[in-house]
Chain A
């Protein structure tokens, strides 16, 4: 009971049987419609200036602090970079709450692009920049006794954990402050347990496992966050 129930010859014959005469105004219409449209890249570029400057400034500050700490203390103090990352994740999560926090959600939902598309473009842009930043920090922290990949795992895991906690919290409360609490918790736990062999080589496999799990949860939370904006749009229309 699928497409195979009709052979290709019969499908072609059906297509010929249902063939309409050539449309007369198709090209003109498509030219007009495409002229009014915006490509995906163009859409992201339009959104770029609307991402708050503090997001970029805080990201740069985290990068600068990470590089400074790496140069000053060396790879053995990778826990410091690990404890910094939740604050980077906060900038990504709170960007998502901007419309609601500024009382603009209603207005954004009535505009040309849906709030879900705006959120996807902004979170995607901030996420891509953070990915580059995390890779840079991993390379900086990698060195004697600790590889760049291992440093990357220590750096990425708390970032993802903060996303996993922060996204549902901001979705439920509509504000960015609970995310700061989540970041403080993750950062504090990292700092508190730094002395109890949390960053020892034999525990790396558990870090990898945790990172993979959190990557999946974070992806699901991103999806839920985008769809929650669309659900809001549908319920208002």
Chain B
């Protein structure tokens, strides 16, 4: 496993969940430290599942511990004024999806997590996951209808 590459991906996932750089980075590092201290998981090819499970649970704990509105507001790069019209269209389409579906899109299409890992992470069969992803992408495409992404 390429730790540097996975660090970026786990950090992106944590940041998506918390929208706070400090907390996201703390949780990313904690997840890696726990993985490195658990030889069993590290050697059985389930490192990714372990990392995402720990990161998700820690993010949930953090979310409960500090109310989201108390977390310092951080705006992702680029800022709204720098965004192109097409990315704003995409943002609006994503906003219309439910948070779980957005998370699945991030994990599958941005972080490139394998279907087998995702299926174990969500506790569903691969077939069910394929169907769910197909539904999400279909819904996203419908919301983007006619935009340049579909050309």
Near B by CB (< 8 A), chain A positions 181-237 give 230, 233-234, 237
CA distance A24 to B39 in the complex (A): 28
Asked if A33 and B3 make an inter-chain contact with CB atoms under 8 angstroms apart, the answer reads yes
- Give the interface size class of chain A: 35 or more
B149 and A237 contact, CB distance less than 8 A: no
B131 within 8 A of A: yes
Q: CB-CB contacts of B76-118 with A at 8 A, as 1s and 0s?
A: 1100000000110011001000000000011001100000000
- Per the bound structure, the CA–CA distance linking A5 and B130 in Å amounts to 11
- Asked whether A3 lies within 8 Å of B130 as measured between CB atoms, the reply is no
Q: How far is the CA of A37 from the CA of B109 in the complex (A)?
A: 30
A15 to B111, CA, bound (A): 8
**With A20-B12, A20-B16, A33-B3: A1-B24 Cβ-Cβ less than 8 Å:** no
Report the separation of the CA atoms of residues A90 and B106 in the bound assembly, to the nearest whole angstrom.
52
Beta-carbon nearest neighbor of B44 in chain A = A230
Q: Mark A1-32, 1 if CB is under 8 A from B, else 0.
A: 11101110111011111111101111001100
**In contact, B21 and A3 (Cβ under 8 angstroms):** no
A24 CB, nearest partner CB in chain B, Å: 6
Interface size on B, residues (CB 8 A): 43
Nearest A residue (CB) for B14: A20
Residues from 1 to 59 in B contacting A, C-beta threshold 8 Å? 3-4, 7-8, 11-12, 15-16, 21, 24-25, 28-29, 32-33, 36, 39-40, 42-44
Give me 25 A-to-B residue pairs in the complex whose CB atoms sit less than 8 angstroms apart, sorted by A's number: A5-B134, A5-B137, A10-B144, A10-B149, A11-B109, A14-B106, A14-B109, A15-B110, A18-B12, A19-B12, A20-B11, A21-B15, A21-B74, A24-B21, A26-B4, A26-B8, A29-B29, A30-B4, A33-B3, A33-B33, A33-B36, A34-B3, A112-B39, A230-B40, A234-B40
Q: Which A residues have a C-beta under 8 Å from some C-beta of B? A: 1-3, 5-7, 9-11, 13-21, 23-26, 29-30, 33-34, 36-37, 111-114, 116-117, 230, 233-234, 237
